[in-house]
């Protein structure tokens, strides 16, 4: 039997099941399905069951919190003490973390039980989860399709009901796009809401952790755990702790939903547009008002992002040099040769491509022409969003131009992969919160998701809108047959 995060918590609270029983059941499901999906990279049954027993003991002593004993999966980008943390890369294939990321520590403190570590694009670089050094993740709705990336393992695991929820990260759409492709719900919070301490860095000014789950309610419950100020992260915001479930049951009457005209023109597939049109009609029935807005510089998000993100990646990934940890070449002649061979052997093609791009745009003579200009464009894109929020409360948009494509379909055309991020990149450049939730299926039976974008710190508003939609529709309850 499968459960939402909330259902599992309720079963535990009423004593109808135990953490050990839940963990054992989900481990069995993972063992049966992971060979086909490749959603999990690491499973450690003994560690999981030890955590479950500790949760059961805490409940027996009356020391349990709301989510104590609930199973969860973690994207393999969060360092977890005693667990392999590979980031989907050969260069970290045998790295065992000596400490916990803030997100992992928060989850452990809440009593959540780790089921395993989910597959991902190498160092979170990708939109399809085909860039993992350990093989692509398969979309559980169609094993020929990609699950989206880079958090494809987390999204696929939740969609296949191998875990009630999972942690994930979003640098340019890596929570929202896989959530849409796999028919689940995913939230990228405002930049700084979730600490990046112990989250292996790709692009530091863009990376943000968030939840993927079946429902908006589950995302709110998990964000309650993940969010919080952390002095070890200089970008972590000092905000009062809030309950992201507080507004879930508020009516949507009067909510102004903005539709950017730039998001609904050429390039948007007809089956995706039809599902979005039906979803917007449902929101209108719930009392929302629809207004047309403009985000005129949308097309500049892709070139701006693919200058800024690789530039930051080239700096962040310089630490993987074969000296202190990670892969080291077996043969080399001197220190420089060791650097070169270790990095050449350890990094995959997409990671190398982005490191080279980032190094180029930061080099002497090109910094002003590319990197500085991209940062100026970033500010203009942010201004467009803020102007839009002067006319509406929430922006509705596609999460991706199409449904999930076939594995291998865009492997030889990285630009085609980059263009698939057109609707998500601007949110990260501006640091805004955004959510994707399922709204139907495309013509080939693959899921379609709707993206809701909010102003800064509007996570509760986004979760409220999605939750109300999910009270009158059943797309979020659909599960693939494996």
Which active-site residues does the annotation give?
75, 150, 174
Distance CA 210, CA 201 (A): 15
Distance CA 279, CA 374 (A): 34
Q: How far is CA 375 from the centre of its chain?
A: 24
Distance CA 345, CA 327 (A): 8
| Residues, the chain | 482
Distance CA 191, CA 236 (A): 8
For residue 24, give Cα distances in angstroms to 71, 105, 165, 181, 316. 10, 23, 16, 28, 38
The closest alpha carbon to 455, from 369, 398, 387, belongs to: 387
Distance CA 110, CA 107 (A): 5
Distance CA 151, CA 117 (A): 11
Residue corresponding to tokens 């963990």: 23
For residue 461, give Cα distances in angstroms to 129, 170, 390, 435. 30, 19, 16, 10
């Amino acid at each position: 039997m499968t459960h939402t995060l909330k259902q599992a918590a309720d079963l535990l609270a009423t004593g109808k099941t135990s953490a050990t029983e839940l963990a054992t059941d989900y481990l069995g499901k993972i063992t049966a399905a992971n060979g086909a999906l490749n959603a999990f990279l690491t499973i450690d049954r003994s560690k999981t069951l030890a955590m479950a027993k500790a949760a059961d003991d805490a409940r027996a002593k009356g020391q349990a919190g709301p989510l104590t004993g609930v199973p969860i999966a973690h994207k393999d980008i969060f360092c977890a003490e005693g667990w392999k943390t590979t980031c989907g890369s050969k260069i970290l294939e045998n790295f065992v973390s000596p400490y916990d990321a803030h997100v992992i520590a928060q989850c452990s403190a809440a009593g959540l039980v780790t089921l395993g570590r989910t597959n991902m694009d190498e160092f979170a670089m990708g939109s399809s989860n085909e860039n993992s050094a350990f093989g692509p993740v398969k979309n559980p709705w169609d094993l020929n399709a990609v699950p989206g990336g880079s958090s494809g393992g987390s999204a696929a695991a939740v969609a296949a009901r191998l875990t009630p929820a999972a942690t994930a990260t979003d640098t340019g759409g890596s929570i929202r796009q896989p959530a849409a492709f796999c028919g689940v719900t995913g939230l990228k919070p405002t930049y700084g809401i979730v600490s990046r301490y112990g989250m292996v860095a790709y692009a530091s000014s863009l990376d943000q952790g968030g939840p993927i789950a079946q429902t908006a309610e589950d995302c709110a419950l998990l964000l309650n755990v993940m969010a919080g100020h952390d002095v070890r992260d200089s970008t972590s915001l000092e905000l009062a702790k809030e309950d992201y479930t507080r507004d879930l049951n508020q009516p949507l009457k009067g909510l102004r939903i903005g539709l950017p005209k730039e998001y609904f023109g050429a390039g948007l597939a007809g089956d995706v547009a039809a599902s979005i049109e039906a979803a917007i009609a449902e929101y209108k029935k719930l009392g929302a008002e629809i207004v047309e807005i403009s985000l005129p510089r949308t097309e500049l998000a892709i070139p701006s992002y693919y200058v800024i993100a690789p530039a930051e990646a080239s700096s962040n990934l310089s630490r993987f040099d074969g000296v202190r940890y990670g892969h080291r070449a077996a043969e080399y002649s001197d220190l420089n040769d060791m650097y070169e061979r270790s990095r050449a052997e350890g990094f995959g093609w997409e990671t190398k491509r982005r490191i080279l791009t980032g190094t180029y745009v930061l080099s002497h003579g090109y910094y002003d022409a590319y990197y500085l200009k991209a940062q100026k464009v970033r500010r203009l894109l942010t201004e467009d969003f803020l102007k839009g929020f002067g006319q509406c409360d929430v922006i509705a948009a596609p999460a991706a131009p199409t449904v999930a494509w076939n594995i291998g379909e865009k492997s030889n055309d990285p630009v085609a992969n980059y263009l698939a991020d057109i609707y998500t990149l601007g949110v990260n450049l501006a640091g805004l919160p955004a959510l994707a939730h399922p709204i139907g299926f495309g013509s080939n039976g693959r899921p379609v998701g709707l993206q809701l974008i909010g102003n800064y710190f509007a996570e509760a508003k986004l979760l409220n809108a999605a939750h109300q939609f999910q009270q009158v529709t059943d797309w979020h309850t659909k599960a693939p047959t494996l």
